[in-house]
């Protein structure tokens, strides 16, 4: 009886980009750039009382985002997101949400720079970028979102020159490296030598 397990291999370019530790220096550059951008932004917010004490900075941003002009298009395209922000305004969530954003941006920045749990940090960075984009703000968000997605895809090697090289094995991942001869044998469709 044939083994029902099928191994679907990534194309060589995907393996090179997202699994090969030889490209770790490239991911280090991208990771530090994105991390520095988040750290710089978050640290500025942490030092600003309008973010950390009163939340007035995020409240002003939300009010501007939900406003529907008499002429032209509103900043927010999707009504459900406008309603969500209006709910946050109505429930006075700006007081705690400002702190959450400031600390979140700083934490994502530190984690990416240190290379600690890169995939998770990139996910939260992408979530913040996506939220800012939904609110009608472009700025650096599209580029940072793209880099965050790439870092998530390269999570196994993006932190290889960083703390992930030590942290991930403690968690039992990424899994044991496969000798190159076994990978090539699998690509050729023959049984891999021991």
Tokens encoding 20? 């090969």
pLDDT single digits (tens) 133-167 = 999 988 999 999 999 999 999 999 999 999 999 99
Task: Give the integer Cα–Cα distance in Å for 139 and 109.
Answer: 18
Name the residue with tokens 């020159």: 161
Q: Going residue by residue through the chain (194 aa), what tens digit of pLDDT does each one get?
A: 566 677 788 899 999 999 999 999 999 999 999 999 999 999 999 999 999 999 999 999 999 999 988 888 889 999 999 999 999 999 999 999 999 999 999 999 999 999 999 999 999 999 999 999 999 988 999 999 999 999 999 999 999 999 999 999 888 887 666 666 666 666 666 554 44
Measured CA distances, 142 to 2, 76, 80, 82 (Å): 47, 16, 21, 20
Tokens encoding 147? 């880099």
Task: Give the integer Cα–Cα distance in Å for 55 and 50.
Answer: 5
pLDDT single digits (tens) 38-52 = 999 999 999 999 999
Task: Give the integer Cα–Cα distance in Å for 75 and 66.
Answer: 7
């Amino acid at each position: 009886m044939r083994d029902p397990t099928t191994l679907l291999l990534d194309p060589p370019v995907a393996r090179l980009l997202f699994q090969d530790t030889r490209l770790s220096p490239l991911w280090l550059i991208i990771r530090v750039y994105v991390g520095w951008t988040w750290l710089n932004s978050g640290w500025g917010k942490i030092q600003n009382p309008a973010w950390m004490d009163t939340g007035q900075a995020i409240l002003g941003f939300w009010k501007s985002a939900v406003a529907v002009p008499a002429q032209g298009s509103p900043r927010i395209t999707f009504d459900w997101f406008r309603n969500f922000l209006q709910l946050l305004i109505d429930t006075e969530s700006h007081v705690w949400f400002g702190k959450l954003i400031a600390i979140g941006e700083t934490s994502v920045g530190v984690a990416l720079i240190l290379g600690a749990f890169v995939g998770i940090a990139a996910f939260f960075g992408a979530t913040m970028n996506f939220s800012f984009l939904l609110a009608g703000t472009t700025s650096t968000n599209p580029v940072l979102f793209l880099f965050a997605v790439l870092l998530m895809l390269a999570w196994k090697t993006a932190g290889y020159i960083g703390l992930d090289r030590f942290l991930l094995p403690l968690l039992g991942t990424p899994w044991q490296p496969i000798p190159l001869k076994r990978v090539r044998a699998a690509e050729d469709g023959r049984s891999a030598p021991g």
